[in-house]
C-alpha cells in the first residue's frame, strides 16, 4: 500500500511539472538535430585527394584527427573551401581549420555576426533553430578547458543575446573566463550550444529525449578535444543542460562536472553517474527551479536534486547569487568558486 501511495504521489508531481502547477510553462515540442553535419554526402563522395575522406557519421574523432595530420596545408585548406560545414563541425579536425570553415559557412546567414573578426566559432550547424559553439581564449594552448552547457531556449539566435546575459552560453563563458584572471593563456572556455534545447519549460523540458540526443553530441565534443590535445574539461551545466551532462557523464572524461539550477541529472546519487569526475552543485534559494518536483516517473521529471546533500555532490556557495540565471554574475560567491574550478585550483 505504501508503494502504491508513493507511485500516486509521483504521478501527481510529474503531472504538476507538465501542466504548470509547479511553476512550469508550456513549450513547443522540438525535434532533435542528430546525425552527421550538413554536406556530409558530398564530403564522402569527394575523391579529389585520391583517397577516402573519413565518414562523419562513423569516424571517431581520433580517426578524424589522424586523417588531418596526414594532410599537407594545401589539402587542408582545399577541404575548408569545398566543405566548410563539414570541416567546421567535425570533432577531431584541427581547431584553427574549424574556425576558418565556420567563418566561411556563416557568411550570408542570419547569424553572420558570429563570424566577426576575433570570434572563434568552433561549430555552426544551421539545421533546426541553429547550433553554435564559441571558444574564449586559446584552446590550442590552454592548460585548463571548461565547457558551458546551457539549458532551455538557447539556439544560434539566442546564443549571445544581450538581455539576461548570464543566462546565455556566451555570457556565462565570457564571465567565467574573465573571473579566472591571472595568466589568460592558462584557461579557455567553450560556450557550447551544440544540441537542440527545449523551448519553454513544457513536455520537452520534463522529458529526457532532447537531453539524450545532446549527451551524445557533448560526448563527441569532448572526444574531439582529447583527439586534438586538449586536457580533460570541466563542464558547467545550467538548468536542463545538467540533464544532458548527467546522461553524458560516463562518456565525457571530464575532470569536474558542475551543475547549477538543476532539475535533476537522471540519477539517484552521484555515484550512479558512472564518472570519476568531481561533481559540484549550486542552487540559489531564490531560483524558481526549487519549485520543480525532483521525481522521475514514466519518462518525465529528472530525478533527485543534485544540490541535496544526500546526492553526494560538493556544494557551491550561492549566498550572493540570485535567481535562475544569476550564478555567473560578477561578484557572486558561485562565480568565484566556478573560476577556481576552471583554473584547476580546487583539490
Distance CA 6, CA 19 (A): 20
Confidence (pLDDT) at 245? 98
Give residue-wise pLDDT tens across range 168-198: 999 999 999 999 986 667 899 999 999 999 9
Distance CA 57, CA 41 (A): 10
Distance CA 93, CA 95 (A): 6
Per-residue pLDDT band at 21 (split at 50, 70, 90)? very low
283 to each of 69, 79, 316, 346, how far by Cα in Å?
44, 45, 8, 19
Which one, of 223, 265, 226, 259, lies nearest residue 337 by Cα? 259
| pTM of the predicted model as reported, rounded to 2 decimal places | 0.92
Instruction: Quote the DSSP letter at residue 262.
Output: -
Q: Out of 187-191, 199-203, 293-297, which region has the weakest mean confidence (pLDDT)?
A: 293-297
DSSP-derived 3-state class of residue 91: strand
Give residue-wise pLDDT tens across range 108-142: 999 999 999 999 999 999 999 999 999 999 999 99
CATH architecture for the domain at 2-33+128-343: 3-Layer(aba) Sandwich (3.40)
Tell me the domain boundaries of the chain.
Answer: 2-33+128-343
Instruction: Report the share of the chain in percent with pLDDT over 90.
Output: 83
Let me know: does 169 contact 218? Beta carbons within 8 Å. Answer: no
Confidence (pLDDT) at 202? 82
Confidence (pLDDT) at 17? 43
Instruction: Write down the H helix ranges in 143-267.
Output: 169-180, 203-206, 209-227, 240-248
DSSP 211-223: HHHHHHHHHHHHH
Burial class (CB in 10 A: 0-12, 13-18, 19+), 138: middle
Let me know: does 3 contact 10? Beta carbons within 8 Å. Answer: no
Segment (H or E) for 159? none
Distance CA 230, CA 202 (A): 37
DSSP-derived 3-state class of residue 228: coil
Contacts for 114 with CB less than 8 Å, ≥ 6 apart: 102, 106, 121, 124, 132, 134, 156, 159, 160
- Whether the pLDDT of residue 25 is over 80: the answer is no
Confidence (pLDDT) at 184? 64
Give residue-wise pLDDT tens across range 31-87: 999 999 999 999 999 999 999 999 999 999 999 999 999 999 999 999 999 999 999
Per-residue pLDDT band at 145 (split at 50, 70, 90)? very high
Mean pLDDT over the full length of the chain = 91
DSSP 30-79: -PPP-SSPTTHHHHHH--TTSSPPPPTTT--HHHHHHHHHTS-HHHHHHH
Amino acid at each position: 500500500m505504501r508503494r502504491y501511495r508513493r507511485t500516486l504521489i509521483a504521478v501527481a508531481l510529474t503531472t504538476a511539472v507538465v501542466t504548470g502547477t509547479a511553476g512550469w510553462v508550456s513549450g513547443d515540442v522540438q525535434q532533435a538535430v542528430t546525425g552527421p553535419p550538413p554536406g556530409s554526402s558530398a564530403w564522402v563522395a569527394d575523391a579529389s585527394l585520391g583517397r577516402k575522406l573519413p565518414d562523419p557519421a562513423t569516424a571517431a574523432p581520433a580517426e578524424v584527427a589522424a586523417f588531418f595530420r596526414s594532410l599537407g596545408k594545401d589539402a587542408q585548406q582545399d577541404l575548408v573551401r569545398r566543405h566548410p560545414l563539414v570541416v567546421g563541425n567535425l570533432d577531431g579536425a584541427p581547431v584553427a581549420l574549424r574556425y576558418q570553415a565556420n567563418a566561411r559557412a556563416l557568411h550570408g546567414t542570419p547569424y553572420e555576426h558570429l563570424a566577426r573578426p576575433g570570434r572563434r566559432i568552433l561549430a555552426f550547424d544551421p539545421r533546426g533553430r541553429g547550433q553554435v559553439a564559441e571558444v574564449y581564449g586559446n584552446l590550442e594552448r590552454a592548460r585548463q578547458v571548461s565547457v558551458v552547457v546551457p539549458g532551455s531556449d538557447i539556439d544560434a539566435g539566442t546564443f549571445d543575446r544581450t538581455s539576461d546575459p548570464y543566462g546565455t552560453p556566451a555570457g556565462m563563458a565570457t564571465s567565467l573566463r574573465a573571473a579566472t584572471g591571472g595568466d589568460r593563456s592558462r584557461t579557455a572556455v567553450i560556450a557550447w550550444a551544440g544540441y537542440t534545447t527545449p523551448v519553454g519549460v513544457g513536455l520537452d523540458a520534463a522529458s529526457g529525449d532532447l537531453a539524450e540526443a545532446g549527451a551524445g553530441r557533448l560526448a563527441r565534443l569532448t572526444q574531439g578535444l582529447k583527439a586534438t590535445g586538449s586536457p580533460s574539461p570541466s563542464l558547467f551545466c545550467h538548468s536542463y543542460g545538467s540533464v544532458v551532462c548527467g546522461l553524458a557523464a560516463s562518456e565525457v572524461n571530464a575532470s569536474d562536472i558542475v551543475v547549477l539550477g538543476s532539475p535533476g541529472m537522471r540519477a539517484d546519487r552521484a555515484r550512479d553517474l558512472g564518472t570519476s569526475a568531481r561533481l559540484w552543485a549550486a542552487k540559489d534559494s531564490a531560483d524558481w527551479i526549487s519549485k520543480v518536483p525532483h521525481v522521475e516517473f514514466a519518462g518525465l521529471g529528472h530525478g533527485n536534486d543534485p544540490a541535496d546533500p544526500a546526492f553526494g555532490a560538493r556544494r557551491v556557495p550561492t549566498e550572493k547569487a540570485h535567481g535562475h540565471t544569476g550564478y555567473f554574475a560578477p561578484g557572486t560567491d558561485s562565480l568565484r568558486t566556478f573560476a577556481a574550478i576552471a583554473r584547476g585550483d580546487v583539490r
